[in-house]
Structure 1
Amino acid sequence: MTVSSPLSPPVPLVTRLTLLFTATLTIMSGATIAPSLPAMQAHFAGLPNADVLVRLTVTVVGLAIAVSAPISGYVTDRIGRRPVLVVAMLLYALAGSSGLYAPDLTTLMLGRVFLGLAVGATTTAGSALVADLFAGEARARFLGLQSAFTSLGGVIFLPLGGLLAGVGWRAPFAVYLAALLIVPLALRLPRGETTGARSAEAAAERVPWRWVLPAYAVALGYMVVFYLMPTQLPYRLEGLGVAPAQVGFVMGISTLSGALAALWFSRRGGTRTPTLTAGLSILAMATGWTVVSLAPGAGWVVPGLMIGGAGAGLVTPNLTTFLAGLAPAHARGRVMSGLSASIFLGQFLSPLLARPFVRGDDVSHAFTAGAVFAALVGAALLVAGLRLAVRRAATAG
């Protein structure tokens, strides 16, 4: 069974499965340990600013990705996608599992930094290889499916992290060793495009930065708001009386909703109105986070997570498909690395920007602020998308 397009040869099933499994590593990087944050904070309570530092163990991964992704993109374009993926997966397993034996918070944080380097490389090389192997609607369909697998990884690893957090806050770090299972498959991937393989004419094709840079900005803003879920929601749920072992299951609702939305995107083969889609998606996330902020009980959080998760689930495949279509083949690694950097920089900034809105253990105001910001961004994109649609209709007429 293969997937193909008029512009690309058939892609073997094992290659597609490997790329889909690789996508689950992205959300694992933060989601796996999210349910153990309160217990980890209690363990390191004697340290100054322990509440912020513990949250940063999730989001420092994003900073490492944001800093290293451009380098990963350059290396990926120079030597090919497969070598970068294999090395990155080995580093992912080693650095990710370091929380099992790290003697202090500083060592643990260092392991998270190296994990970020690995995630940035796998995300960049994986996205670039998808853009190499697929074209047109086949690309949009696969990117939607890949995004769904990313979210489904959260559905699996968030509850698993919650269960392991009940054993001890270190236990969830063992899940990162699962990356070793994908390495043998990654060794069978095609090498992918490289700069040296391109003709001078193709290499001269320029990147349309006037469209690429705004997409990066949208990705950054979206992730600042979305990442309130893994960094703040455990505290919101704890305040509503939810046990730590159940936190992962409740949080998994958001990722499941996102997976279903991404599958819908995949079935449609993408969208012809990416700006409108981004606006509506971010407005849905704003609506969901409003419900979460106002919820009087844990049961009320669920519909908010479903709505917000569905909106978030459409943003990433929409942006990835849009940028993959714009990027020249010789620059795909660099363009996709910019998207990775924007997304994960948003992850890192999220708890820092939310900090002024946190009142002790009450994080509801952080969700309110995130909802307001998302509503403004979504409305601006909606207006821009409608204007573009009107212009196209006028031109076609």
Structure 2
Amino acid sequence: MSRGLKPTILSISLITVMSGAAVAPALGEIGRAFPQADETLIKLVLTLASVMIIPFNFISGRICDRWGKRRTLLLGLAVYLVGGMGGGLASSIWTLLGTRVVLGMGVGLIMPISTALVGDFYEGEERIRTMGQLSASSNLGGIVAMVLSGWLASLSWRYSFGVYGFALGTGLLVFFLLPEPKSDGRPGGGFKNLPLAVYLNGAAVLLLMLVFYSIPTNMALFLQANHIGEARLSGMVIALITASGFVAGLVLSRVHGLVGRWMVTAMLACMAGGFWLLSAAASLAPVVAGVVLIGFSYGSLFPLILVSITGAVPRHRTVLAMAVASSCLFLGQFISPLVLDGLGAIMGTASPRQSFHLCALGITAAMVAAFVISFRTPAQSNPE
């Protein structure tokens, strides 16, 4: 196994998970550039890619059966570059949204392969460790993308789309350093034979992303509406959530060993606390504390779900299983502003602060449920 293999796999994750949110710091500037578009339409700049990611996740598996994972990755990276950087050339909100659709096609081809490669090349404890590093890598990409995007947005919202150029470096690594994974020759197959665990974990991913994505879709607007900061500051604040997620991925194995069966409950409590802080924030300090708590908990929960999925299916079905998980992830991204804004409108107080309040309530309820389940589960039944 070559030394460049793991950095190549991690670089793929670096550009995928936060791909939609990479230009979140520019959202306020984009709104001012297209004043005829309402707030929900502007938020679709971050989430519309998810519409195409979902079907292309499953198309990716079909292409992998014919072309192999390496060539499918290279195709996806090319589409990603066109859609991502093309947004900076848009002359209307509809053209901009069109480039986000193309971006979603590229991410859809890449995403299930990026996590399936961990199952292809690593086993046992090394798989758990690598999945944590994969999560850390995606958050590192978010840190760089958010800070750089926020700075570029202060010059022009168009420049912020330059962050998608990182995919060029990833493409070179894949071309020169990634071997084609060994295959047993069997196609990925259909959905009917996937274990129930895949779908249950997929539902957990969807709900987790629904609340998590309230941060990039609302933060710039929240800071501006409450006179806490502008686009550049929102980039730094959102980068904190990915920084804490990066740390969580690095220490995942150690923390899981210490907390054991209470891991899910503890991380949900951490996330709930973060959202309660945001829902009451009137200054920068509680905003910072809130996003750090949310980022750390998300960075711990998400890779554990992926490890559970890879352990539930044989190797030839990992791309399909990961397609289910990543589809749920991006479906959660897409519906996040629609669900939270819709619930807020029903309650008569639609606003970024109300979205954070709704997330706090939902995560608190999930924490109580997780506590009851963990309390009734014998300690020895949990994996170390």
Q: Normalising by structure 2, what TM-score?
A: 0.91
**Alignment CA distance shift 1:170-1:361 (3 Å):** farther
* Separation (CA, whole Å) in 1 of partners of 2:115 and 2:171: 17
Q: Deviations over 1:186-217 (max 9, x none)?
A: 0131212446268xxx989x955221211111
Equivalent AA in structure 1 for residue 312 of structure 2? L
Q: Aligned equivalents of 1:282 and 1:76: distance in 2? A: 36
Q: CA deviation at 1:140?
A: 0.5
CA distances 1:51-84 after superposition (whole Å, capped 9, x unpaired): 1111011011122212321222343355422111
**Letter matched to residue 39 of structure 1:** E
Is 1:14–2:24 an aligned residue pair? no
Q: Does 1:149 align with 2:137?
A: yes
For 2:19, what is the secondary structure of its paired residue? Answer: helix
Q: CA deviation at 1:146?
A: 0.9
- Say if 1:131 and 1:324, in contact at 8 Å, map to a contact too: yes
Counterpart contact for 1:77–1:330, Cα < 8 Å: no
Alignment partner, residue 244 of structure 2: 257
3-state SS of the aligned residue for 1:103?
Answer: coil
Does the Cα contact within 8 Å between 2:194 and 2:321 map onto a contact in 1? no
Contact 2:341-2:350 at 8 Å conserved across structures: no
Give the paired residue count.
Answer: 376
Does residue 371 (structure 1) correspond to residue 345 (structure 2)? The answer is: no
| Greater alpha carbon shift after TM alignment, 283-292 vs 334-343 | 283-292
Evaluate the alpha carbon distance shift between residue 271 and residue 318 of structure 1 in structure 2; reply closer, same or farther with a 3 A threshold.
farther
| Partner Cα separation in structure 2 for residue 392 and residue 262 of structure 1 | 23
Q: 1:161 touches 1:248 (CA, 8 Å); kept in 2?
A: yes
Q: Percent of counterpart pairs with the same letter? A: 30
Q: How far apart in 2 are the matches of 1:28 and 1:390?
A: 35
Q: CA deviation at 1:102?
A: 1.6
Residue aligned with 1:182, SS: helix
Partner of 1:326: 312
What is the aligned counterpart of 2:331 among 345, 350, 365?
A: 345
Is the Cα contact below 8 Å between 1:74 and 1:333 reproduced in 2?
A: no
Query: For 1:44, which of 19, 26, 34 is the aligned residue?
Result: 34
- State the one-letter code of the partner of 2:199: L
Taking the aligned partners of 2:321 and 2:24, their CA distance within structure 1 comes to 29
Shift of 1:137: 0.4
1:3 alignment counterpart: none
* 1:266 Cα deviation from its structure 2 partner: 4.5
Residues 138 and 153 of structure 1: CA distance in aligned 2, closer, same or farther (over 3 Å) = same
Distance 1:271 1:335 in 2: 26
CA deviations over 1:276-319 (Å, ceiling 9, x no partner): 53343233212101101111211221111111111111121111
| Distance apart, 1:361 and its partner CA | 8.5
Separation of aligned partners in 2, 1:175 and 1:307: 26
Quick one: distance in 1 between partners of 2:112 and 2:371?
28
SS in 1 for 2:209: helix
Matching residue of 1:33: 23
- Name the CA shift for 1:235/1:92 in 2 (closer, same or farther; >3 Å): same
Report matched runs for 1:200-239 at 5 Å: 209-238=195-224, 239=226
Q: Does 1:294 align with 2:283?
A: no
Match of 2:158 in 1: 170
| Structure 2 unaligned residues grouped into runs of 5+ | none
Scaled by the length of structure 1, the TM-score of the pair is 0.88
Shift of the 203–89 alpha-carbon distance from structure 1 to 2, 3 Å rule, reads closer
Contact 1:207 1:327 in 2 (8 A): no
- The answer on 1:90 being equivalent to 2:78 is yes
Aligned twin of 1:58: 46
Question: Is 1:115 the equivalent of 2:103?
Answer: yes
- Gaps (5+ residues) in structure 1? 1-10
- Distance of 1:390 and 1:289 partners within structure 2: 29
Mapped partners of 1:101, 1:360: distance in 2? 35
Q: Distance in 1 between matches of 2:378 and 2:221?
A: 42
User: How big is the shift at 1:275?
Assistant: 7.2
CA distance in 1, matches of 2:104, 2:266: 30
Q: CA RMSD in A?
A: 2.5
Cα deviation for residue 228 of structure 1 reads: 0.6
Cα 1:106/1:261, change in 2 over 3 Å: same
